[in-house]
Structure 1
Amino acid sequence: MKKRLLALFILPFLLFCSFPITALGADEKEDSWEDEMVYFIMIDRFFNGNYDNDYEVDTDDPKAYHGGDLEGIIQKLDYIKELGYTAIWVTPIMKNEPKGYHGYWIEDFMEVEEHFGTMEDAKRLVKEAHDRDIKVLFDFVVNHTGYQHPWLEEPDKANWFHEEKRMIGDSPSVLENAWLAGLPDLNTENPEVKNYLFDAAEFWIEETGVDGFRLDTVKHVPKEFWQEFSAHVKSIDEDFFLIGEVWSNNPKYIAEYEETGIDSFVDYPLYEAMSQAFMEAGGDLQSVYNVWEANQVFYEQPYLLGTFLDNHDNLRFTREALKKRQEPTTRWKLALTYQFTAPGIPITYYGTEVPLDGAEDPDNRRMMNFNAGDGEVKKHIEQMTAIRNKFPVLVKGDFEELYNEDGMAVFSRSYEEEQIIVAINNSEATKSSVINLDAKEMQLTGLLQDEIVRDKDNGTYEITLDREEAEVFVVEQDKGLNWAFILLIVGTMGVFIAAVIWLSRKSKQTE
């Protein structure tokens, strides 16, 4: 008897909870990189899929190999797909000198590092990713080799390197010729070096079918080289994507490299602004929008910029929040909401979904822990990738600031007939903002928390958010009260009450 009553009690709640918060199907997309969302992986620190290549592995040494490999990434492609990402970027897979776990101390530009696997594994990674509609970016280095590269001992390659000197200053001559962190600086002006690097790029494209390169240390290589390099790879594959790292807080300086044919750049100015704004409650959000205004001025393709909140060269965003005595999950959710709704290609460093902690290099490259965390950030990422995938306006739409005051900001994205309103309360108190839209007698329907805001007066909408909360609204026709849903609830409860009464009477008769 008790079991039957319990089942009837639970039934209405199962029915109520079975309605999805919002339907976020996947529309067909154009094959454009601005549509993509990138998951960035440091190979050695992600997942160990093949223990047979685990020699010289020491997980207690943060500067040693930890066992992650290409097979590990292959095994986790479904996991990445479920998170909602449509592309992956992996650190260099080329053969490195000892302890080059990160991939940037290259010893052979046309061989796979044996700790990571084989050439067959590299080919299989690309194929398996493509089978899941996931694009692949390989990190590609042309500025330098490892510290002990064999070429340094070959007399006929003496002019393959610039003269050894420390990097002091930031003039083009210093940036392009000095040895970064003491790494032997390749003389890319030398035709032999240039052709070798061109051949290496062609090798990886033709052997693996990779979709693009993330170009390391772009500002340390002359623009003339990049112009020829870009033209060369595009001659092999006209759709091949190049995203460059120009480490600078000056968007005008970074944008000057667009003339080289590099398609996109990681947006360091936005990284700095987002980090400062979101690492603690009360951060001013004006600076993040200011970066967008500058990007529109300086870049030909600002929508192709790669946006990120942390990476393998900087403190983890989690650590930045902890230093400010903030709750990282809350900080991450607000920051990710902005990142995934603002223009640009979102790039997420592995472990964000946990979220991983980490201080200076190499602590910011900890081994991925798939079982850490309470799943809240992971769930939020899944929501944001689904929303961005569902609404083209978040990829192609214009971006306008509607309100920005005392830690609360409201932004609008508009494209064709579609409009999204993004509201973020980054303060420590409940905040309200009144905005005016051309859309009259409509409603703002929340995609994260099911909030509904209706037209108060001829296109005036008042949005209220609790402290440290964000919402993404779609502007749509005012649907009024959902009478069908209300009647379903009333009817279900009626059936439930009637059943309880009937069972109660039945029980008394039996007694």
Structure 2
Amino acid sequence: MGKRVLPLVLIPFLFLYGVKAGAVEKEERTWQDELIYSLMVDRFNDGNEKNAKDIDVNDPKAYNGGDFRGIQEQLDYIKDMGFTAISLSPVFDNEDRGYHGYWIRDYYKTEEHFGTMEDFKKLVKEAHKRDMKILAEFPVNHVGPNHPWLKDSGKQDWFLEKGTSDSENDNVEQEASWSENLPELNLGNPETRGYLLDAAKWWVRETGIDGFSLGSLQKAPMDFWSDFSRAVKEEKQDFFLAGQIPENDPKAIEELKKNGIDAFMDYKKARQLRTAFSGTDTSLEDVFPAFEKSGSSMNMGNFLDNHEMSRFTNEAVAKKQHPGTRWKMALSYLYTVPGMPVVYYGSEIAMNGGEVPDNHQLMAFKAEKELIDYITKLGELRKQLPSLSKGNSRLLYEKGGMAIFQRTYGDETVFIAINNTSKTQTVTLDKGIIEEGKELRGLLTGDLVRSKGDKYTIVLDREIAEVYALADKSGLNVPYLVIMGAVYTAFAVFIILIWKRARRNRA
């Protein structure tokens, strides 16, 4: 109980001490600063019953009713957790039962189950009013299995032959063409390419969205991405393009960056994170890459869940772990290392689910206040401390699930300690690692570490993370103690008067 009360006692002191991790001037917001909430339109929230035809919430492969208006109704819910951008599954008109958005029938229409184009524009407008950005996935590699183009004799060369690939990247193992029997588009065909570029420009111009997420970048010719990027950024200069590529191939990523792709989803790290944080006492060595190269990590999207994989909660439960605690540990990492945090809908309530489509369950807006509050606090710290989004990084300690690392930006320095073990851990940082005569002020749980000579000893309970701000040593705040003493004295006098009055009334 004492440990729970301690942060509450310390927090007023910390504010009156004037925690100052460093004087960093206010800078223009970039995508490095964004916190992204990723969701499936059909599985989030039903806000309009009029478009809820053929809905069956008991069928995981049918439309479940989520729509644009439903997302709009929950914008404040998403914003209050600290998220600054929303990434949507494809919103285009789809074939029957294409709830996920990948069976595209028409690139120039919205899916009727989700709402009209006007509904979508209103969603974007309302998000922008809240200073939130909207991304939508734009699939360019395939269309629905029964697309009208397949029956058009004039468009036979719009598709690849089964078993072929349109990629020029020979260094990456190619995925099977026509995956899930979806017709693969021939992006080397000028007409096909022209159609997709025109459609992409039209969406940017018509709706005012802020970016596209893109799948399977390696399956398209490199010059296609150059044309695609140029086309959308002529419509909107700061338009954002985030894509997927297997195994984070460095050569392919560098080439794609040169051709206009701004960021990449870090699938390799996602698998490492799920292994490391779904249980305790697992080495964190794999999730701390060479931090001296952290600049190259700034354009990576860090995530634990997405629509393609079983939920992180599922892995934690399989190891007989408490999902809420596992999520706190994983999110503490996600929010404090280089890269953009991307959180899949339902993570804030530790939503469970196995393989597709079990991981596409309808969102349950139930109270999971402890985890939601934790996510909110992490978001506040990331917003307040530029070092967490832009800073240089240095790993100071890592052993068996306990890690301490440093983020520095300008003269702002923070230290992050993550104890992902089953025991209390004590780590002493020796001379030269941290400047002498300072103290580390915990901003998550209220811990306080003062130097003893030229050393700092961090003691962290099991399955706890802390973000420490480096600050000058502070003494007792006498004015604060006087004020608080007066408040407590007045309260005691009040209680005594009430007690005496009660005695008189009984007499």
- TM-score, normalised to structure 1, is 0.90
1:371/1:492 CA distance change after superposition, 3 Å: same
1:506/1:101 CA distance change after superposition, 3 Å: closer
Percentage of matched positions with identical amino acids: 42
Output the amino acid matched with 1:55: K
What displacement does 1:483 show?
3.1
CA distance in 2, matches of 1:387, 1:405: 26
SS at match of 1:433: strand
Output the amino acid matched with 1:396: K
The superposition leaves residues 93-144 of structure 1 with CA deviations (integer Å, 9 ceiling, x where unpaired) of 0001111101011110111010000110111111111111001111101000
Kindly indicate whether residue 410 of structure 2 is the aligned counterpart of residue 416 of structure 1: yes
Q: In 2, are the aligned partners of 1:425 and 1:467 still within 8 Å (CA)?
A: yes
SS at match of 1:290: coil
What displacement does 1:496 show?
3.2
What displacement does 1:479 show?
1.6
- Out of 382, 394, 397, the residue aligned to residue 400 of structure 1 is 394
Q: In 2, are the aligned partners of 1:279 and 1:317 still within 8 Å (CA)?
A: yes
What displacement does 1:489 show?
3.5
What displacement does 1:19 show?
4.9
SS at match of 1:175: coil
1:224 matched residue in structure 2:
223
> What value does the CA root-mean-square deviation take over the aligned residues?
2.6
Q: In 1, are the aligned partners of 2:391 and 2:408 still within 8 Å (CA)?
A: yes
What displacement does 1:482 show?
3.3
1:55 matched residue in structure 2:
53
SS at match of 1:361: coil
1:21/1:200 CA distance change after superposition, 3 Å: farther
Q: In 2, are the aligned partners of 1:230 and 1:260 still within 8 Å (CA)?
A: yes
CA distance in 2, matches of 1:156, 1:187: 14
- Out of 345, 352, 360, the residue aligned to residue 355 of structure 2 is 360
SS at match of 1:404: strand
Q: In 2, are the aligned partners of 1:251 and 1:294 still within 8 Å (CA)?
A: no
1:507/1:177 CA distance change after superposition, 3 Å: closer
1:380 matched residue in structure 2:
374
1:99/1:457 CA distance change after superposition, 3 Å: same
What displacement does 1:495 show?
2.7
Output the amino acid matched with 2:406: S
- Out of 21, 36, 58, the residue aligned to residue 38 of structure 1 is 36
1:429 matched residue in structure 2:
423
Q: In 1, are the aligned partners of 2:172 and 2:249 still within 8 Å (CA)?
A: no
1:249/1:225 CA distance change after superposition, 3 Å: closer
Unaligned runs of 5+ in 2: 1-7
Q: In 2, are the aligned partners of 1:340 and 1:388 still within 8 Å (CA)?
A: yes
Output the amino acid matched with 2:382: R
- TM-score, normalised to structure 2, is 0.91
- Out of 324, 340, 355, the residue aligned to residue 345 of structure 1 is 340
Output the amino acid matched with 1:354: I
1:466 matched residue in structure 2:
461
Output the amino acid matched with 1:486: L
The superposition leaves residues 20-56 of structure 1 with CA deviations (integer Å, 9 ceiling, x where unpaired) of 9869999955131111111111000000000100111
Alignment of structure 1 residues 92-131 onto 2, 5 Å? 92-131=90-129
2:140 matched residue in structure 1:
142
Output the amino acid matched with 1:427: T
Alignment of structure 1 residues 134-173 onto 2, 5 Å? 134-165=132-163
Q: In 2, are the aligned partners of 1:251 and 1:295 still within 8 Å (CA)?
A: no
What displacement does 1:504 show?
4.5
Unaligned runs of 5+ in 1: 1-14
CA distance in 1, matches of 2:324, 2:405: 23
1:237/1:508 CA distance change after superposition, 3 Å: closer
Kindly indicate whether residue 185 of structure 2 is the aligned counterpart of residue 186 of structure 1: yes
SS at match of 1:238: coil
1:157/1:489 CA distance change after superposition, 3 Å: same
2:309 matched residue in structure 1:
314
2:5 matched residue in structure 1:
none
What displacement does 1:233 show?
1.5
Relative CO higher for 1 or 2, CA cutoff 8 Å, sep ≥ 6?
A: 2
SS at match of 1:129: helix
CA distance in 1, matches of 2:179, 2:154: 23
1:267 matched residue in structure 2:
266
What displacement does 1:441 show?
1.3
1:5 matched residue in structure 2:
none
- Out of 487, 496, 499, the residue aligned to residue 492 of structure 1 is 487
Report which stretch shifted further, 279-288 or 474-483: 474-483
Aligned residues: 490
Q: In 2, are the aligned partners of 1:24 and 1:387 still within 8 Å (CA)?
A: no
1:119/1:146 CA distance change after superposition, 3 Å: same
Q: In 2, are the aligned partners of 1:37 and 1:86 still within 8 Å (CA)?
A: yes
Output the amino acid matched with 1:103: G
Q: In 2, are the aligned partners of 1:403 and 1:410 still within 8 Å (CA)?
A: yes
Kindly indicate whether residue 449 of structure 2 is the aligned counterpart of residue 453 of structure 1: yes
Alignment of structure 1 residues 270-285 onto 2, 5 Å? 270-285=269-284
Q: In 2, are the aligned partners of 1:107 and 1:149 still within 8 Å (CA)?
A: yes
